[in-house]
Amino acid sequence: MKRTIFNLIKGGYLSATKILPSNIEKRFRAECAEEIVPIDEIETKYGTIKYYSLGLVPLWRSQTLFTKEPEMMASGLIA
């Protein structure tokens, strides 16, 4: 159900931008992208690490980085 709603919203956004003139469409998409880029924040004992995730793979990687890097965990970086 969530995926269907997501696809409807995404399809509506993409369709709506197609009616704009090319230069305005590109600017609109660029401005929207700056506003909606996911920022994943991970707390460590040294402060917060922010990952700007410009896609699904970078977002997944930021969320699994410290579970897949035993050297990082052993170094004491993570609180």
Please give the Cα distance from 50 to 40 (Å, whole number).
6
> Could you give the angle at the alpha carbon of 35 between the alpha carbons of 2 and 39, nearest 5°?
70
Domain ranges of the chain: 2-36, 39-74
Q: Quick check: 73 pLDDT over 70?
A: no
pLDDT reported for residue 17: 79
Q: Quick check: 78 pLDDT over 60?
A: no
Which tens digit of pLDDT belongs to each residue from 13-61?
Answer: 888 878 888 888 888 888 887 788 888 888 877 888 888 888 888 888 8
Which residue type sits at 77? L
Q: Quick check: 70 pLDDT over 80?
A: no
